[in-house]
Every structure is written in C-alpha cells, then in structure tokens.
Amino acid sequence: MHELSQKLEPLIAEFEQLESELTQPDAAQREDYIQRSQRYAQLKEMIDIDKNLSEVINRIQDAEVMVKESDPDLRELAEVELAESKESYQKLHAQLIEHLSPKDPQDEQNAIVEIRAGTGGDEAALFAGDLTRMYQKYAEQQNWKVDMVDGSPTELGGFKDVMFIIQGRGAYGKFKFESGVHRVQRVPKTESSGRVHTSTATVAVLPEVEEVEVEIRSEDIRVDVFRSSGPGGQSVNTTDSAVRITHIPTGIKVSCQDQKSQHKNKAKAMRVLQSRLQQRQQEEQHEEIAAQRKIQIGSAARSEKIRTYNFPQNRITDHRIELTTHRFDQILKEGELELLIDPLAQAYLEDQMEN
C-alpha cells in the first residue's frame, strides 16, 4: 500500500468491470467498443505501474532490514539494492501521479515564447539572448523546430525582445513552466571593478491555438507594414515586408519581420494574435483558480521571480520548488533544461492531485 492507493480503488473497480464486459462474446458488436477498449488499455497501464510500485516498496522494506545485518558483504549488497529500489520508486511514483492527474489538452500544442529584457540595460539584453539560445538548444534536443517571429537584437549579441514558436508535439507542456521573471547575477564584461550585477528578463509562454478556436473579424484589426530593422535600428530589407497587426478592441499588437515576404509575416503574426486573444479569454475565466495554485504557470507568473542564475557560484535556483543545482553549464549553455523542467512538472502534478 502507498499514499496513492486510495485514489486508485475506483479505477481498479472500473478496470475489473471493463475486463469482464470486454470478454463477453458480443463485446465487439457494441458501438462504444473502441472507446471502451482504449479506456481499458489506459487503466491497465496505470494498474501495471501500481503493481510494480508495490513490488518496489516491498524490496525497499526488505533491503532496509538487511542493511542492519552484521555481515558486511550482505550489508553492502543491501545498500546497493536499497539505492536502486528507491530510484525505481521515484520513477514509478512520478509515472503514476502523471496518469492520475487531469490532462491539459493544450500541453500537446506548439509553444509561443516571448522574452523581454528587464532591468539591467545591456546586461539584461545579453541575458535575454542567453535564455533564447538555451531554449533553442533544448528544442533541438527534442527534435522540435524553432520558428522565429520577431526580435530586436542588440549590437552586443543580446535581445531587447524576441519572439519565436517552438513547433513540436508537447512543446507547450514543457515550456509553460518557464513563464515569469528570470534573474541573472554576474560580473558584466564592461564592469572593471569586478562587481556582481543583477539583471532580469521576463519570459511569457502561451500555446499556439488552432485557427478555428478564436474568431477575429477583419474590421477589428489594423494592419501596418514597415521596413525590417536589425541591431541599432539599421534596415535589413529594402522593401516594406515587416507587418504589425493591432487588434483594435483589446489593443493587442503583434509584429513579425522574420520573413522577407509580407504575406508570410502577416500569416505568422495572425497565428500569434489568435493565441494571445485566447490566452486573454482564459485568464479572465480562470483568474480565481490560478491565484490559488501553488505553482504559477503561464503569464500569471510574469511579475514573479521564478529563477536565479548565479554565474560566480555556478548555481541555478528555481524559487517555486526551492530547487538548487550546480549543473549550470549543462542547463544554460547546453540546453539540458529537463534538469529543471522535470522536477517542476512533478511538483505541478502533485499540486494538481492535492486540489
């Protein structure tokens, strides 16, 4: 028995009922046979995990007894078994919580990521560039495509602001935990005294919605075209291919200048506008619920400091779950973001279970 056993009781009863019904001779003739079979497979996977978890718990209990043995060889074997079993327990426990938690259908969608330099001037813009490259590397590791939308690069290699779309199944489900204020502590290259400065960048992530989900009337938008610009305001195109769309009722503006084609820029800007409008609707509907969550996700957390990157101490701290790691280069420079995302996802699922 474990702490999730009580939540599984009604699901085990449902599984046994389905198993009995699906073995009946006429089961395949019923209209809902496919749906019932799919539900049966889903429940079976969950119950198999539960059985494995119970076996691991028994192994842990046996190993805990054996580590008290006087024989050093037996004690050493028991310590190895205990360590391996505890690792298995954590993995199985996480899988079971994921199965039991309510699914967010938006998790499977593409993610629109917007990063803005906050306090700190040039140093904040450089940090925004660091975050952009970290996210791009992580996306590449997942075999996801990064589609740039808009950006204001600086001459030092940073960004005042940048927006891109991560295209891949499950992208939003991973990136949604990145919304909020990211803080960096380091000695700027321009600082002669070696004093550590603190700068910030804000990250906003929203799911890309299907075109049919949000209706935008043509009379509600204004489309302006202009010439694309690069670092320092210099023009990078000789034609007016960049597009800015303003949604008049809400005042929401979206610019896109990544493509040389005005038509492509407009289409991409409309994709972002649709997602922003849906996000606005959802925020209004779920504001009270979001305020009660222990782990804030999405744009609700934009004003909250969620993570600190400390260069002098090679330390990254996520303040939402009080997680600190010194695998600094692996995360920020190599993009191994799952070292942070996986614990956040686990904590979020547990929070969902409690509520």
Look at residue 46 and tell me whether its pLDDT is greater than 70.
Answer: yes
Lowest mean pLDDT among 25-39, 100-114, 234-248, 301-315: 234-248
What CA–CA distance (Å, rounded) separates 180 from 202?
6
Amino acid at 113: V
Q: What is the pLDDT of residue 211?
A: 56
Amino acid at 54: S
Burial class (CB within 10 angstroms; exposed 0-12, middle 13-18, buried 19+) of 218 = exposed
Among the listed residues 321, 325, 306, the one whose alpha carbon sits nearest the alpha carbon of residue 351: 321
DSSP code for 229: B
Q: What is the pLDDT of residue 102?
A: 72
Lowest mean pLDDT among 23-37, 140-154, 292-306: 292-306
Among the listed residues 39, 168, 177, 54, the one whose alpha carbon sits nearest the alpha carbon of residue 99: 39
As given in the structure block, the two tokens for residue 326 are 């010194």
The most confident of the ranges 170-184, 236-250, 276-290 is 170-184
Residue bearing tokens 């046979």: 33
- Domain map (residue ranges) of the chain: 5-100, 105-354
Collapsed DSSP state (helix, strand, coil) of residue 232 = helix
Residue 268 Cα distances to 209, 219, 258, angstroms: 12, 19, 9
Q: Are 159 and 132 in contact (CB under 8 A)?
A: yes
* Average pLDDT across the chain, whole number: 84
Task: Return the bridge partners of 297, or none.
Answer: none
Q: What are phi and psi of 302, to 5 degrees?
A: -65, -30
Task: Return the bridge partners of 164, or none.
Answer: 113, 148
Q: What is the pLDDT of residue 234?
A: 52
More confident residue, 225 or 328: 328
Look at residue 146 and tell me whether its pLDDT is greater than 70.
Answer: yes
Look at residue 297 and tell me whether its pLDDT is greater than 70.
Answer: no
In our burial notation (b when 16+ CB lie closer than 10 A, e otherwise), range 289-308 reads ebeeeebbbbbbbbeeebbb
Lowest mean pLDDT among 92-96, 148-152, 225-229, 327-331: 225-229
What CA–CA distance (Å, rounded) separates 35 from 352?
26
More confident residue, 300 or 175: 175
E-strand ranges in 154-304 read: 159-167, 180-186, 197-207, 221-226, 242-247, 252-256
User: What would the mean pLDDT of 104-113 be, rounded to a whole number?
Assistant: 88
As given in the structure block, the two tokens for residue 70 are 């006087």
User: What would the mean pLDDT of 304-311 be, rounded to a whole number?
Assistant: 91
Q: What is the pLDDT of residue 59?
A: 94
More confident residue, 236 or 171: 171
Q: Are 150 and 228 in contact (CB under 8 A)?
A: no
pLDDT classification of 289: cutoffs 50, 70, 90 = very low
Q: What is the pLDDT of residue 294?
A: 45
Torsion of CA 340, 343, 344, 347, to 10 degrees: -170
Q: What is the pLDDT of residue 341?
A: 93
Q: Are 186 and 158 in contact (CB under 8 A)?
A: no
Q: What is the pLDDT of residue 31?
A: 86
- At 173-203, the pLDDT tens digits run 999 999 999 999 999 876 767 788 999 999 9
CATH 3.30.70.1660 fits 105-354, yes or no: yes
What CA–CA distance (Å, rounded) separates 7 from 258?
49
Which residues, at least 6 apart from 62, have a Cβ–Cβ distance to it below 8 Å? Answer: 81
Q: Are 149 and 161 in contact (CB under 8 A)?
A: no
Residue 204 Cα distances to 15, 28, 88, angstroms: 41, 48, 35
Q: What is the pLDDT of residue 300?
A: 34
Torsion of CA 184, 189, 194, 196, to 10 degrees: -10
pLDDT classification of 286: cutoffs 50, 70, 90 = low
Which residues, at least 6 apart from 93, have a Cβ–Cβ distance to it below 8 Å? Answer: 2, 4, 53
Collapsed DSSP state (helix, strand, coil) of residue 116 = strand
